[in-house]
């Protein structure tokens, strides 16, 4: 692990864990263990129960093991992507699953990870630095058209075309290697009238990070897998941090809560699909007290659903 300390303030800690309706003897999964904040709260409520902690980042697993060492007898750690949950559980049913889709403070603030435009570092952005393509690969090998796609679709950037063209032009001279190089290119490509935006490069970094880690494409199938793995009455709590994530969670919940997909004109259901989830109220937002002490919670939303 890096010498940089792994820390992360869990967002909506009590709301998310309360949403799981913890049974002391139940089996629970934290799909994004991070620094172990939510995991610690879940484990502290178990008596005879078990917690399975997933994280694709080996640094997160090591940090969580230290934080949760008092609960060694009830916690199992899994260094894999949470999209593998159905394979890891191998048919076991669980009582609740939590997913916090935010990037940890450690990953954002550690310059060795290359996530942030605020710190100069090699372009990496991988949740697991032993797997897959890096941000460097995306920035220096994707075609202009591919860059436009991810900036538009994952960053919702209206100047996606201008920024992609600027990146392609700059990398013809030499590879774009660092976060500050990329940030400067992105900001320079945005028309001056829009530069009252405090951090216009934020959307570009978000888009590249999503592409590197495949963050959005795994959300719907994972929510479906989790639903299939829940016992009746089991809960799923998902914390999102931007509209793209929240939309996918909301749509997948709605699909699983609806059941029948037959055209309305049919007099009877022929698809045979039954509702699998019921929604536990509307999206929950951080309290004013939490916003005052943790600005990174500002865009968070929590959605809870229960297996029928």
Structural domain contains residue 5: no
pTM of the model: 0.89
**What's the Cα-to-Cα distance from 240 to each of 73, 164, 216, 218, rounded to whole Å?**
30, 27, 11, 14
Question: Is residue 276 classed exposed, middle or buried when 0-12, 13-18 and 19+ CB atoms within 10 A define those classes?
Answer: buried
118 and 208 housed in the same domain = yes
Query: Is there a single domain that holds both residue 137 and residue 183?
Result: yes
Give yes or no: residues 22 and 92 share one domain: yes
Please check whether residue 1 lies inside any domain of the structure: no
> What domain count does the chain have?
2
Q: Please tell me whether residues 34 and 177 are part of one structural domain.
A: no
Q: Which pair of structure tokens corresponds to residue 219?
A: 């959300």
Categorize the per-residue pLDDT at 1 as very low, low, confident or very high, splitting at 50, 70 and 90: very low
Backbone angles phi, psi at 67, to 5 degrees: -70, -30
Residue 2 inside a domain? The answer is: no
Does 187 share its domain with 221?
Answer: no
Shared-domain flag, residues 119 and 179: yes
Tens digit of pLDDT for each residue in 94-140? 999 999 998 876 677 777 788 888 889 999 999 888 889 999 999 99
Q: Where does a domain end: 213, 235, 265? A: 213
Q: In terms of domains, do 193 and 222 share one?
A: no
Instruction: Look up the domain containing 143 and give its range.
Output: 112-213
CATH of the domain at 186: 1.10.150.170
Give the number of C-alpha atoms closer than 13 A to the C-alpha of residue 174, restricted to the C-beta side: 4
In a domain, 145, yes or no: yes
**Rounded to the nearest 5°, which phi and psi values hold at 150?**
-70, -35
Give domain status of residue 27, yes or no: yes
Of 213, 228, 251, the residue that ends a domain is 213
Return d(Cα 308, Cα 305) in angstroms, integer.
9
Question: Do 92 and 231 lie in a common domain?
Answer: yes
Domain boundary among 151, 180, 213: 213
Query: Residues 6 or more apart from 85 whose CB is under 8 A from it?
Result: 29, 31, 54, 97, 222, 225, 226, 229
Q: Based on the fold, state whether residues 245 and 291 are members of the same structural domain.
A: yes
Q: Is residue 91 part of a domain?
A: yes
- Identify whether residues 235 and 91 lie together within a single domain: yes
Q: Is residue 237, in this structure, part of any structural domain at all? A: yes
Q: What is the pLDDT of residues 54-99, one digit of tens each?
A: 999 998 899 999 999 999 999 999 999 999 999 999 999 999 999 9
92 lies in the same domain as 226: yes
The pLDDT tens digits of the residues spanning 223-271 come to: 999 999 999 999 999 999 999 999 999 999 999 999 888 888 888 888 8
Helices (H), the chain: 13-19, 37-44, 58-67, 85-89, 105-109, 135-141, 144-155, 160-171, 179-189, 202-213, 219-229, 243-258, 288-293
153 and 233 co-located in one domain: no
8 domain-assigned: no
């Amino acid at each position: 692990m890096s010498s940089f300390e792994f820390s992360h303030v869990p967002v909506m800690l009590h709301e998310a864990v309360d949403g799981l309706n913890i049974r002391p003897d139940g089996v629970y999964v934290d799909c994004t263990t991070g620094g172990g904040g939510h995991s610690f709260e879940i484990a502290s409520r178990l008596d005879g129960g078990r917690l399975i902690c997933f994280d694709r980042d080996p640094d997160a697993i090591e940090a969580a093991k230290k934080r949760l060492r008092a609960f060694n007898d009830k916690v199992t750690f899994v260094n894999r992507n949470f999209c593998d949950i159905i394979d890891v559980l191998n048919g076991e049913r669980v009582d609740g699953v939590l997913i916090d889709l935010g990037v940890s403070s450690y990953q954002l603030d550690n310059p060795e990870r290359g996530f942030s435009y605020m710190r100069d570092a090699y372009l990496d952005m991988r949740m697991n630095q032993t797997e897959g393509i890096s941000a460097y690969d995306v920035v220096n090998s994707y075609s202009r058209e591919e860059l436009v796609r991810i900036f538009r679709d994952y960053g919702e950037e209206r100047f996606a075309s201008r920024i992609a063209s600027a990146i392609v032009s700059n990398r013809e001279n030499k590879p774009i290697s660092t976060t500050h190089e990329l940030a400067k290119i992105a900001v320079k490509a945005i028309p001056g009238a829009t530069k009252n935006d405090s951090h216009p490069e934020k959307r570009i970094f978000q888009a590249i990070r999503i592409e590197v880690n495949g963050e959005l494409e795994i959300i719907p199938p994972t929510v479906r897998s989790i639903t299939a793995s829940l016992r009746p009455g089991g809960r799923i709590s998902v914390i999102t941090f931007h509209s793209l994530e929240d939309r996918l969670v909301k749509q997948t919940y709605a699909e699983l809560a609806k059941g029948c997909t037959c055209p309305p004109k049919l007099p009877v259901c022929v698809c045979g699909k039954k509702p699998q989830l019921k929604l536990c109220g509307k999206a929950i937002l951080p309290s004013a007290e939490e916003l005052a002490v943790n600005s990174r919670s500002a865009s968070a939303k929590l959605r809870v659903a229960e297996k029928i």
